[in-house]
């Protein structure tokens, strides 16, 4: 009997090994592509810089060298912000879609963007905040409060969360518009943030927010295996011993930290958190233990690529990364919509 069992299991082992190798290759390829895009982000722009000169600017800068000043003062901060915001959006999108079992869920669905927008407007109109470093805390606070309200109303249930998020967005958006109509200075401050760009922020914003991103990413990695059980349905997850409420609460805190950080850093970037998890599932399958690290790579890959493209297509000016990211993400979602089925969650 034991021999028969071993004979039946033996063919499955190479298949499992092959699947892991394919997923590992996909992860490695994404990491290599991200490294290449980072190099391009530092070298390309209105002022092109050779790769060798870029390396010297990073590790052996020369005082007074204009190329080195551009790279260290402008391109390094926006590249770092793109990496962090993209990773946060990708991870937040994976968590949101996993927790809600909703293939079209993203940070905007839970009202996070609307909450952050209202926080920015209130800070500019009534508190006299004008610096990007000041805005990030109000954006983070606004998105966090919106998420708390949504989760409190939705009780962690997929359909209720989506409805609660839509309700909160519908309530906060007109309030934001009303304040903007009353205060033109607030409108000027808000419009530069709302377009979704990586410029106008320095590494001081990164220094203020990276602990929230790190905490959210760690939680995301820890709960990845639990999302696999949630994908089977609440009843099955409970039968497997999962504490569904606890899992959703922990994931909710991570979503707030990740989406709030991304929105505070780069503004309300659309479609990254929605498209990246779908692309990750096509590349590594439906196991969240592989989806999560892939999203952590594909998110910054998409956002930094969008930023590089935005610099090149409209010289001597540039197109904001949020606009280009929406253009890149749209075909992905069209392909998903035209497919015979949405990738399993």
**Could you tell me which residues come within 8 angstroms of residue 198 by beta carbon, excluding any fewer than 6 positions away?**
78, 79, 81, 82, 85, 266, 303, 307, 321
Is the model more confident about 184 or about 163? 163
Counting every residue, how long is the chain? 345
Q: Give the pLDDT mean for 247-271.
A: 84
Which burial class, exposed, middle or buried, applies to 65 when counting CB atoms under 10 A from its CB (0-12, 13-18, 19+)? middle
Q: What is the mean pLDDT of the chain?
A: 82
Residue of 233 and 164 predicted with greater confidence:
164
| 46 backbone dihedrals φ, ψ, rounded to 5° | -60, -35
C-alpha span between 321 and 268 (Å, rounded): 11
Task: Please check whether residue 293 lies inside any domain of the structure.
Answer: yes
| pLDDT at 1 > cutoff 50 | no
pLDDT band at 13 (very low <50, low <70, confident <90, very high): low
Over residues 279-284, the mean pLDDT reads 91
The pLDDT of residue 153 is 83
In a domain, 33, yes or no: yes
Most confident of 56-60, 64-68, 154-158, 288-292: 288-292
- pLDDT confidence band for 8 (50 / 70 / 90): very low
Distance CA 297, CA 32 (A): 10
pLDDT band of residue 5 (cuts 50, 70, 90) is very low
Predicted model pTM: 0.86
Q: What is the pLDDT of residue 166?
A: 85
> What are the DSSP E strand ranges found in the chain?
none
pLDDT tier for residue 257 given thresholds of 50, 70 and 90:
confident
CATH number of residue 287's parent domain: 1.10.3470.10
321 pLDDT more than 70 = yes
pLDDT in tens, 234-254: 777 777 677 777 888 888 888
Question: Is there a domain that residue 71 lies in?
Answer: yes
User: Considering the domain boundaries, does residue 2 fall inside one?
Assistant: no
Q: Report if residue 13 sits inside a domain.
A: no
Burial 77-93 (b: 16+ CB within 10 A, else e): bbbbbbbbbbbbbbbbb
Q: How many domains does the chain have?
A: 1
Tell whether the model's pLDDT for residue 327 goes beyond 70: yes
In a domain, 343, yes or no: no
* Residue 228 structural domain: 18-338
On whether the CB atoms of residues 296 and 87 are closer than 8 A, the answer is yes
CA torsion 144-145-146-147 (nearest 10°) is 50
pLDDT of residue 74: 86
**Is 11 part of any domain?**
no
The b-or-e profile of 103-129 (16+ CB within 10 A means b, else e) is bebbbbbbbbbbbbbbbbbbbbbeeeb
Q: Is residue 10 part of a domain?
A: no
């Amino acid at each position: 009997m034991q021999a028969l069992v071993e004979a039946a299991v033996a063919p499955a082992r190479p298949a499992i090994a092959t699947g892991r190798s394919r997923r590992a290759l996909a992860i490695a390829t994404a990491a290599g592509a991200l490294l290449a895009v980072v190099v391009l982000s530092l070298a390309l722009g209105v002022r092109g810089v050779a790769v060798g000169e870029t390396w010297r600017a990073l590790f052996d800068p020369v005082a007074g060298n204009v190329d080195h000043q551009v790279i260290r003062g402008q391109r390094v901060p926006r590249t770092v912000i793109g990496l962090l915001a993209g990773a946060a959006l990708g991870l937040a999108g994976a968590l949101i879609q996993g927790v809600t079992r909703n293939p079209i869920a993203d940070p905007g669905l839970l009202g996070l963007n609307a909450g952050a927008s209202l926080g920015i407007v209130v800070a500019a109109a009534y508190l006299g905040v004008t610096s990007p470093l000041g805005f990030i805390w109000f954006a983070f606070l606004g998105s966090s409060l919106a998420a708390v309200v949504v989760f409190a109303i939705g009780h962690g249930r997929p359909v209720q969360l989506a409805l609660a998020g839509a309700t909160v967005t519908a309530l906060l958006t007109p309030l934001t518009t009303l304040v903007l109509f009353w205060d033109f200075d607030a409108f000027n401050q808000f419009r530069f943030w709302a377009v979704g760009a990586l410029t106008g922020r320095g590494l001081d914003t990164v220094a203020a927010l990276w602990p929230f991103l790190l905490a959210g990413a760690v939680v995301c990695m820890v709960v990845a295996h639990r999302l696999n059980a949630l994908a089977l349905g609440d009843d099955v997850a409970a039968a497997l011993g999962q504490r569904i409420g606890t899992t959703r609460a922990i994931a909710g805190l991570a979503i707030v930290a990740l989406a709030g950080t991304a929105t505070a850093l780069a503004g309300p970037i659309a479609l990254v958190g929605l498209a990246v998890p779908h692309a990750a599932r096509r590349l590594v399958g439906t196991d969240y233990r592989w989806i999560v690290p892939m999203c952590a790579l594909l998110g910054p890959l998409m956002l930094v690529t969008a930023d590089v493209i935005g610099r090149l297509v409209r010289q001597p000016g540039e197109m904001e990364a949020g606009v280009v990211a929406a253009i890149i993400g749209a075909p992905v979602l069209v392909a998903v919509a035209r497919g015979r089925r949405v990738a399993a969650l």
